[in-house]
Amino acid sequence: MSDPVLRIENLRIALPEGADRDYAVDDVSFELNAGEILCIVGESGSGKSMSANAMMGLLPDLVRPVGGSILFDGVDLLTLSEAQLLDLRGRRIAMIFQEPMSALNPLMRVEDQIAEVFEAHNLLTAKERSARAIALLTEVGIPDPEKAARAYPFQLSGGQRQRVMIAMALALEPEILIADEPTTALDVTTQAQILELIRNLQEKHGMAVMFITHDFGVVAEIADRVAVMQYGRIVETGSADAVLDDPQHDYTRKLIAAIPKLATDREQDAIGRQKVLEVEGLSKTYVTGGGLFGGNKRVVKAVQNVSLTLAEGETLGIVGESGSGKSSVGRCLVRLMAPDAGTVRLAGQDMAKLSGRALREARKSIQMIFQDPYASLNPRSKVGRIIAEGPMAHGVPKAEAYARAVELLELVDLDALSIDRYPHEFSGGQRQRIGIARALALEPRVIIADEAVSALDVSIQAQVLDLLAELKEKLNLALIFITHDLRVAAQICDRIAVMQMGEVVEMGPARAIFENPQNAYTRTLIEAIPGREKELAAAG
Amino acid sequence: MADFWKRFSRNRGAVIGVVILVIVLVVAILAPVLFPQSPWRMVQRPFLAPLDMPSHPLGTDALGRDVLTGLAYGAQVSLLVGLVSTVAALLIGIPIGALAGYFGGWADDALMRFTEFFQTVPSFALAIVLVAIFQPSIYSIVAAIAIVSWPPVARLVRGEVLSLRSREYVEAAILSGQTSGTIILRQVLPNTISPIIVLASLMVATAILLESSLSFLGLGDPNLMSWGYMIGAARTVIRQAWWLSFFPGVAILLTVLALNLIGEGLNDALNPRLARKGK
């Protein structure tokens, strides 16, 4: 390897007073070599993005570096003035962000946004700029680049928008590319394509790439070297193979162990068990637009003719990419949304036809766990109230409902004293436990978990999954687990239904789906799981 | 709560506002103690200039009534009208906004058209008409101000409820079998409190201005001394006796300013993420 292009030495970034720790980044040193991809891995709050933002001079107002240096080309970036940084940004160090929709200006055509990069550095004439824009779009593999250049960001898909971001970052051929969780917001198949693109471009241009991610699967796909961060410190660095196969630090080991394994050893034994939920021909169509002057209506068939059964004590996974209709199915089942057609038979009653009082009664036996641990608990209610509210609405006396809330909190491994605290005093994982306790309060027979672990860090995710499996066993629950993450599905589900564009394209025992997928789309999904090849190789 | 006070007290303007408002409040409450005689009583010769006699530091008006006493009793009327009419406006606006936002559909359409009907009528003109029809009295003034100032509350609450209604905790409440009434009262409305408080503090200021304007036009309660009435009565003699309109004007200005400063401080303290940077 050649000399490092960038060297960070003992970098220390102070957080404002009253934060949970003194330093966002504490005594961090690493090197970035030309022509390599360095992955910075860590859970949320580990300080991985802060170090990248410090390089670009993009730290938030109250956060400032207090020690160390970031040496780039013999100059300490921390000492540069704003004007000097302006010249550097984009031209020599470029960055791509997590959310391509909010990183692009929604009111500007794609080619103008790319041209703006040249304009900012006073390069090229207008004509050359637009020619370069199209050349760049071609390079990042956007289909029909001339047309895409004239498009607005909302007319492109998430993956295409991220390609535009990459094209902008590449425009001035920077020496360093910083990618901050660039594939986190993307579907798994798109993610695989973007990772491949970054890898190819990096090789072609000989750039150094600093890739920030929380996902070890992504690390396995793309990294040359890895630095693992925890609480603002680097706990382990090394080559990708060394860190992934033979982690030295306890924290790295813990993180790697927490990744759900793809192999599933579950045997289906639901045959002969009683069915608790039978869904037949469920359909839901959204119609938007139209209106008074009869404009074009937009019709989205979110759920088309979906039929499922769920046996007692069974876990059914519904997997699919965004827009596949998997969440709509869940919402139709609990009637947060009224289906257009079909029956939802729950313990002999058709949920789809009930209303008013009868619906409230029937819902006691089908409850939901939500995705966002921050939005699913009322910030102005105490935890006890949140859990006891359901039973109280069904006529359980207050004292009894609160006593039950305490039992439930203990059941989900939370302290009984939690009932007098507010949700904001808890971490994401703890909040999700509260959400689970709330769902259990009405003693349901079926629980629908809609992306229940997607917002959690991988180690917390593993704990919550274990808790769910344990509760399911203990309380003989049937679980419908809606997720975009096939790894999670492999870990927890007995059977899996794969959805694409509102339809179930394949359904069967989890093992059969993973080992012998019949449908082409299922195969694409499984092949796109990051880190899969490495895992297969390791398994022999 | 401690955190809230810390953020609030960091805003210097808001603290000044609180100080001014507390002074006005204390004067209003202690008016009968500080100035035992009626504000309508003639105590000296007319047009006594300020500082001419130590017993009447702000002078007397065209009928020889003490200006300082009038200001103190006027504070009572202004604050009372401001607070009561704002509470009344909230009582009309919050339920309408909450129902429209939560149920949507035709309920939303009907309630919002009704709200817009009130919004399209110029509010001051409507207030004058209402007071004129019902005979000027403190009750009719409070009612008129409440009736013209509730639409912004309804619109604000509707918007907040619309965005809160799709939150996951509201959906969880629906699933747990709570009725719509319980959900609105327990899950949704408590989370709309901050913007309502901010709006309410500004509405008190507007209500005080409205009351002053009505009194200025002679539509105030004839039995109550108010700042607007004092200015209105002094208007014809403004060249001879500037102090008659000046001091009540300053009182209105300071009170309204204080309420606006407090409103802004509350806004910054209750929405820390929206607070302007660099302070």
Q: Which helix (H) or strand (E) holds A341?
A: strand A341-346
Interval A145-171: pLDDT, tens: 888 888 888 888 888 888 899 999 888
B177/chain A closest Cα distance in angstroms: 5
B179 touches chain A (CB under 8 A): yes
Average pLDDT over residues B95-117: 94
CATH no. for B2-29+57-270: 1.10.3720.10
Closest chain A residue to the Cα of B163, Cα to Cα: A375
A100 pLDDT above the threshold of 80: no
A positions 415-454 inside 8 Å of B (CB): 435, 438-439, 441-442
The answer on A328 and A234 residing in a single domain is no
Q: What residues in B contact A378, CB-CB < 8 Å? A: 169, 173, 186-187, 190-191
Count interface pairs A-B at CB distance under 8 A: 65
| Number of domains present in the structure of chain A | 2
Q: Where are the alpha helices (DSSP H) in A426-498?
A: 428-440, 458-475, 486-492
Compute the distance between CA of residue B195 and CA of residue B193 in angstroms, rounded to an integer: 6
A372 touches chain B (CB under 8 A): yes
**pLDDT confidence tier of residue A48, bands split at 50, 70 and 90:** confident
In a domain, A121, yes or no: no
A61 touches chain B (CB under 8 A): yes
Average pLDDT over residues B19-47: 90
**Could A379 and B191 be called an inter-chain contact, meaning their C-beta atoms sit closer than 8 Å?**
yes
Q: What residues in A contact B190, CB-CB < 8 Å? A: 378, 380-381
Select from B172, B178, B277 the Cβ nearest to the Cβ of A376.
B172
In a domain, A333, yes or no: yes
In a domain, A34, yes or no: yes
The answer on A234 and A359 residing in a single domain is no
The answer on A327 and A251 residing in a single domain is no
Select from A367, A375, A393 the Cβ nearest to the Cβ of B182.
A393
More confident of the two residues A24 and B112: B112
The answer on A325 and A220 residing in a single domain is no
The answer on A457 and A324 residing in a single domain is yes
Q: What is the pLDDT of residue A350?
A: 85
CA atoms within 13 A on the CB side of A153: 19
- The rounded mean pLDDT for chain A is 86
Ramachandran angles phi, psi of A413, nearest 5°: 65, 40
**Could B175 and A334 be called an inter-chain contact, meaning their C-beta atoms sit closer than 8 Å?**
yes
In a domain, A161, yes or no: no
CATH value at residue A502: 3.40.50.300
B178/chain A closest Cα distance in angstroms: 5
Average pLDDT over residues B13-38: 92
In a domain, A112, yes or no: no
In a domain, A6, yes or no: yes
Q: What residues in B contact A368, CB-CB < 8 Å? A: 171-172, 175
Closest chain B residue to the Cα of A18, Cα to Cα: B3
B178 touches chain A (CB under 8 A): yes
A394 touches chain B (CB under 8 A): yes
**pLDDT confidence tier of residue A372, bands split at 50, 70 and 90:** confident
Average pLDDT over residues A304-313: 89
**pLDDT confidence tier of residue B94, bands split at 50, 70 and 90:** very high
**pLDDT confidence tier of residue A473, bands split at 50, 70 and 90:** confident
Q: What is the pLDDT of residue B161?
A: 94
The answer on A252 and A320 residing in a single domain is no
Interval A51-88: pLDDT, tens: 888 888 888 777 888 888 888 888 888 888 888 888 88
In a domain, A307, yes or no: no
Q: What is the pLDDT of residue A373?
A: 84
The answer on A328 and A446 residing in a single domain is yes
Closest chain B residue to the Cα of A423, Cα to Cα: B169
Look up the domain containing A230 and give its range.
1-92+214-256
Q: At A294, which amino acid appears?
A: G
B3 touches chain A (CB under 8 A): no
In a domain, A179, yes or no: no
The answer on A224 and A88 residing in a single domain is yes
Select from B173, B190, B191 the Cβ nearest to the Cβ of A389.
B173
Token pair for B141: 């003034």
